[in-house]
Structure 1
Amino acid sequence: MLKKGVVVLIGAGCFISGAFITKVVEDKISVGVVREAQKLIGLNFTDAQLDSSLNKLEEFKQNYEVLRKQPLTNDVAPALVFNPIPVGYTFEKTNGKFEAEKASGVKLPKNREELAFYNVPQLAELIRTKQISSEELTKFYLERLKKYGPTLECVTTLTEELALEQARKADKEIKAGKYKGMLHGIPFGVKDLLSTKKYKTTWGATPYKDQVIDEDATVVKRLQDAGGVLVAKLTLGALAMGDVWYGGKTKSPWDIKKGSSGSSAGSAAAVAAGLVPYAIGTETLGSIVSPSTACGTTGLRPTFGRVSRHGAMALSWSMDKIGPITRSAEDAAIVFNAIYGPDGKDQSVYNAPFNYNQSIDPKKLRVGYLKKDFERNYGFKENDEATLAALRNAGIELVPIELPNLPARELTLTVSVEGAAAFDDLTRSRKDSLLVAQHKNAWPNTFRAARFVPAVEYLQAQRVRTLLVQQMQEKLKDIDVYISPSFASNNLVLTNLTGHPCVVVPNGFQKNGMPTTITFMGKLFGEAELLTLAKFYQSITNHDEQHPSMDFAAKKKS
C-alpha cells in the first residue's frame, strides 16, 4: 500500500492515495516510489536497477515540465502518420469518370412534406429543372430543423443567414447556366466538430460551447464549392463520445425515448428525420456505424487517409475518419465524390482515385461474409439472414471468410492515449470536470488513466497494429467486399484500426420498432466497389425508403 503523501510518477502523470493531482509534492523520486509505480505496468526491476534509473527519471520529469509550457492547440498533429497500406499493396492510380445515376421524370410533390425524404438525385433534378429554387428548398429544411430539432436535440447551431445567402447564390449561378452538379443548391448539415467561419464549433462539450474557429474545414469548403448550402451544425456526444452533449441527449426519430447513439448523433438523427438531405459525420471507433444503425440511415466510413481532416477536432490522429451519412449508397457516393482527396493540409491523405460508375458489375464482385458471426444468436438475426438470402437470390455468390486472429480490442488503448494527448490541457487544467458525462468510462477518467500508459507500450501496440494491417491484406487478397453483422464488435474495432472502409445500410427493424443495419466492408480505397454492392442491395430491397412517422411532434404538442 502507498503511504499518504507518497507520489508515484508514470510518464507525465501523478498519483496520490488513489486521487489524481497536477502538482508534485516531493522534490525527488525515490526507489520506493518507482518500485510501486512499476506495478501499474507489470514490470519488476530490482532496487539496484531502479536506483540507476533515478537520474534519468528526474531528467524526464524536468523535460515534461518544459514541454508542457509549449502551447499545443488541438489542430497540431504528432510528427507520426499512420500508414494503412500493407507492404506490397498497390491501389488503382488511374482516375476514371465519376458517374452517379440521375433521376428522371421527377415532379414536385403536391404534398411538400414528401420532399423531406427525397434523395439527392431527386432533389437535384427538381433544382436543375427549376421546379423548385435552392432558396425555397433551404427554407423548407430550415423550418423542419426548427420544428423537429428541439425535440430530437440534434442541432447545436442553425446557420440560417449563411444558408439563405448560399442558396440565393446557387439560384443565380443555376439561372446563369453555371450548374455545378448534383449537390448544387442542396442543403446539408455537418457534425459540430468541423470548423465553420463565423459560427461556433462546440465539439459538443461545455468547455468549448462558445468556441469560434473562424475557418471552414476542408470538407465544409469542398461541399460549399460544389454548390452545397450549409443549414446547420449538428450535435455530437461531448468530444466525440456517445449522444450526450452539453445541451442534452440526441434522440432517434424512430423512438424519442431512445438515444441516437453516437458520436455522429445529430448527423444521423437529422438525416433520418428528413431535417437535411445528407450530413457529414466522423468515426474513430464506431461513430458513423452506431448512430446510422440507431437511426436507420446509410453511413459511409471511408478508408483512413481518404478525406482531409483539416478543420476537424482531433481525437485520435491515427484513427479519425470523415464520411457522409445519407439516405442511400448512391447519395453517399455523390457526397463522397465531392470531399475525398488531398488538400495539402492533412498529410495523412492519399491521392487515390474514386472510380464509381455504372461499369462496375456487382455480380462480378468477389463477395465474402463473416460466417461465424452470422451463425451467432442475436436479436435481429432474421434481418441479417434475409439480407444474405436476398443477395444470393440476386446472383451474388458469398464466400465465408475469417478475420485475423490478433488482439484488436487491446489496441484500442490507441484512442485513449491519443485522445489524452489531444486534450491534455483540458485534463491538467481540471476543466474536464465541466463535461456532462463523468462516469468511470467517460472521457475525463479515460484521459487520466491514459496518462499512465507508457510510451513504450503505446508503440508496441502500434507494432502489433502493423501485423494486423498485413494479415488483413492476406485475408482479403481474393475478396472485393465482405459482409458483417453491424453488431460484430470484433469487425468494427479491427477495421477501424486497419483503416478499411465500410458502409452500413438499413435492413429491417427490431421487435421494438428500432431499425437495424447490415455492414458492407471494402478493401483499402475500394469505396467504388463497396458502394456499388450496397447500392445493388438497396435496389432489390426497400429498407432505405422507410422513414419515421414524425408523429412525436404532434404528441408532444398535445
Structure 2
Amino acid sequence: MIRNLNRILTLSAFGGVLFVSGAFFGKQAQMEKITVPMVQSAQQLLGLNFKPAQLDTALAELTDLRKSYGRLREAKLDNSVPPALMFNPLPVGFKFEKESKTFKASDAGKVSLPANQEELAFYTVRELAELVRTKKISSVELTRFFLARLKKYDTKLHCVTSLTEELALQQAQQADAEIKAGKYKGLLHGIPYGVKDLLSTKGYKTTWGSVPYKDQVIDEDATVVQKLREAGAVLVAKTTLGELAMGDVWYGGKTRTPWDLNRGSSGSSAGSASAVAAGLLPFAIGTETLGSIVSPSTACGTTGLRPTYGRVSRHGAMALSWSMDKIGPIARSVEDCAIVFNAIYGPDGKDQSVYETPFNYSPSINVKKLRIGYLKSDFDRDYGFKTQDQATLEALRKAGHELIPMELPKLPVNDLVMTISVEGAAAFEQITLNGKVDQMVNQDRNAWPNTFRSARFIPAVEYLQAQRVRYQLIQEMDKLMQKVDVYVSPSLGGSNLVVTNLTGHPCVVIPNGFTNQNRPTTITFIGKLFGEAELLAFVKAYQDKTDFHKKHPSIAL
C-alpha cells in the first residue's frame, strides 16, 4: 500500500512529487517508468476517469512532460521573477478616468505640541506634518521619539524585525536641512514610518518573516520604499509579518495586538498594524493577498487601505500570488491613508501590472451624491460584530444616505482560493523541493509547507478553469458596481473578502466600536475599481463623525 501511494505521489506528469520528512524524491521518480496502473492511481487522486487504452496512448507524452519538468526545475527562478501571464482586473468596457487633479488634504488647522510629549504618539500624519512644516518639531526629534517607543514596546508586542536607526537619523537630518532651506516636499516630509518586512530595503535584511530567509539581504529599495523616500518620509523600522505572509507567527515569535497582549495581532501585516495601534509609528506599509490588511487592522483597531489591484508597484516585494498581491497603508485615519497612497501609487516601469490612472482625492468631494450599497444577507446573519455594524448602518442612514441592499455574485468563489496555493507553490518551489520548508515555524496541515506540497497536485487545466470562473466573477461584479459607488460589508466572515481580493476592488477598513472584552471591531467599505478617491472621501466623512479611531490601548499610554 505504501509503495503504491509513493508511486501515485511521484507522478510528476500530474504535477506531483513525493515528500517524506522533508526529503525530495523527484529524481528517483524520473528513473521509474511510467505505467498505466501508475497513471490510473494518479487520476483517482485528481477525480479523472480515462480508460486504460486512453492512458496507454498518453504514456509517451507523460514521459516527455516529466522530462520537461525536470529541465524547467533547473532554471534559476528567484522569487522576483513574475510569470509571463498577467492578471487583468478590468471588466469588459472599463474606462479609466483621464483628468488628473491636484491632491488636496484637509486643512490641519492650528496644531500645537502637547504638554505631555507622549501624546505625539497618537497624532495623525496630517497633524505631525503640520508640526514639522511649521518647524514646531524637527524630523530628527520626531524620529528619535518613535525609535524610543519602538525599542520600549517591541519587547511586549514583537512587531519589529529590524530597526533602521542609522538610516532613519540620516534621512531625518536630510529632511530637516531641506525644510530649513525652503524645499518642503509635502505632507510626508520628515514623517517616520515602518514597512512590512517583505519589501526590500537597501542595506538591511528583508526576512519575509521566515526562517529560511531570516538572514536574507536584497540590496535594493522596493519601489514603495523609494517613492516614500522621494516624498521625504523617514524609514525607522521593518515590521513583522506572519511567516511568508500568513498569520502573525514569525521566526521571532508571535506579534501581539496592543489591546490584549495575550492575543496575536492577526496577519499577515501583523507588525504594521500592531505598531501603528500602539503609537510606535504614525503609519506603516502593509500588503494584502486575502485579508492581510483587513484582518490585522481589525485585531488592532487601525485604519487600512487595500488599493485596487494594479495601483501600486510590487517591485521589490515578496511575491506570494502575482495575480492577487496588493500593497497599501495602515494608519490612524482615512485621510492619513490617502496621504500615503498619494505618494506610492502609479507605474514605475518595473511592475508591468500597474496602470497609469489619476488619484483625484479631495475631502470636498460631495459624498451625498454617491450611491451606497450594503450586503444585506451578510449583515442579517448572526456574527460577533453585529451590534457594532448595525450601529454603523444606522449612523449612515441618519447622515442621509439611502442604503441599497445588494448581494454578491453566486459563483464558487471559495474554490478560486486555489489561485494562491498554485501561485505560492510556484513562488516558493525552491524551498519546497530542497526541503527548507521544514525549517519554517508552522508545520500543521493549514501551514504553507503543506499547502506548497499539496498544490503540486493541482493540474494546470484546473487552475486555468478557475481563472475563467474568476473572469466571470469580474464581469458580474462590474454589473453590481454599476448600481452603487461604494458598498458596506462586515470586515470578516461572508464572502466579500474573498470576492474583492479576487476581483481587485479597493477597500477601506476602519474601527467602528469595541467588544465587551474591549477589543476593537471594524467595518469595511468597498469602492469601484480605481475609485479610491471617492471611496476614501466617503469613509472619511463617516469617520469624522466617530471617535473610535481616536481610542488608544492602555499599554501604550
After TM superposition, the score normalised by the length of structure 1 is: 0.97
The match for 1:44 is 49
Are 1:258 and 2:263 an aligned pair?
yes
Matched, 1:484 2:489: yes
Question: Which residue number corresponds to residue 502 of structure 1?
Answer: 507
Runs of 5+ consecutive residues of structure 1 not aligned to the other structure: 553-558
Residues 398-454 of structure 1: CA deviation (Å, up to 9, x unaligned): 111111000100000000000000000010000000000001010000000000000
Map of 1:362 onto structure 2: 367
- Counterparts of 1:221 and 1:19 in 2: how far apart (Å)? 38
Residue pairs, 1:19-418, within 5 angstroms: 21-23=24-26, 24-25=28-29, 26-418=31-423
CA distance in 1, matches of 2:363, 2:469: 39
SS of residue matched to 1:151: helix
User: Does the residue aligned with 1:14 lie in a helix, a strand or coil?
Assistant: coil
Alpha-carbon distance in structure 2 between the residues aligned to 1:551 and 1:109: 16
Q: Secondary structure at the match of 1:207?
A: helix
Q: Deviations over 1:263-285 (max 9, x none)?
A: 00000000000000000000000
* Structure-1 separation of matches of 2:463 and 2:333: 38
- Cα deviation, residue 2, structure 1: 5.9
Q: Aligned with 2:555: secondary structure? A: coil
SS at match of 1:204: coil
Counterpart pick for 1:13 among 10, 16, 24: 16
User: Which amino acid counterpart does residue 197 of structure 1 have in structure 2?
Assistant: K
Q: 1 CA distance for matches of 2:130 and 2:77?
A: 47
Give a deviation string over 1:489-515, Cα, whole Å, max 9, x none.
400001000000001000001111110
Question: Residues 362 and 4 (structure 1 numbering): CA distance in 2 closer, same or farther, change over 3 Å?
Answer: same
Aligned equivalents of 2:553, 2:71: Cα separation in 1: 55
- The verdict on how the C-alpha distance between 1:307 and 1:17 changes in structure 2, with shifts beyond 3 A counting, is closer
1:330 is aligned with what amino acid? E
The equivalent of 1:555 in structure 2 is none
Q: Does 1:463 align with 2:468?
A: yes
- State the shift of 1:17 in Å: 9.2
Q: Percent identity?
A: 66
Tell whether the 8 Å contact from 1:7 to 1:16 is kept in structure 2 after alignment. Answer: no
> Per-residue deviation at 1:528?
0.6
Superposition RMSD in Å? 1.4
Are the counterparts in 2 of residues 152 and 252 from structure 1 also a CA contact under 8 Å? yes
Compared with structure 1, are the counterparts of its residues 5 and 137 closer, same or farther at alpha carbon in structure 2 (3 Å cutoff)? closer
Distance 1:261 1:252 in 2: 8
Structure 2: stretches of 5+ with no match in the other structure: none
Alpha carbons of structure 1 residues 535 and 29: separation in structure 2 relative to 1, 3 Å: same
Residue 549 of structure 1, CA deviation: 1.1
The 8 Å contact of residues 2 and 17 in structure 1, kept in 2 or not, is answered as no
How many residue pairs end up in the alignment?
552
2:439 to 434, 447, 455: 434
SS in 1 for 2:357: coil
Report if aligned partners of 2:209, 2:245 keep a CA contact under 8 Å in 1: yes
The Cα shift of 1:254 comes to: 0.2
Letter in 2 for 1:267: S
Task: Supply the distance in 1 between the matched residues of 2:481 and 2:313 (Cα, whole angstroms).
Answer: 26
The structure 1 segments of at least 4 consecutive aligned residues displaced by more than 2 Å after TM superposition are 1-6, 14-27
Deviation digits for residues 324-376 of structure 1, max 9, x if unmatched?
00001000000000000000000000001100013411111110000111111
Letter of the aligned partner of 1:200 in structure 2? Answer: K
Q: 1:101 to 1:67 in 2, by over 3 A?
A: same
Which deviates more, 396-405 or 312-321?
396-405
Q: Secondary structure at the match of 1:13?
A: coil
Alpha-carbon displacement from aligned partner over 1:229-259 (angstroms, at most 9, x marks no partner): 0000000000000000000000000001000
How far did 1:379 drift? 2.1
User: 2: distance between equivalents of 1:512 and 1:540?
Assistant: 24
Post-superposition CA distance 1:471-496 (Å, at most 9, x none): 00001102110000112340000100
Whether the aligned pair in 1 keeps the contact of 2:312 and 2:344 (CA below 8 Å) is: yes
Shift of residue 16, structure 1, vs aligned partner:
7.9
CA–CA separation in structure 2 for the residues paired with 1:328 and 1:293: 14
**Deviations, residues 168-217 of structure 1 (Å, cap 9, x unaligned):** 00000000000001100000000000000000000000010000000000
Q: Distance in 2 between matches of 1:233 and 1:325?
A: 14
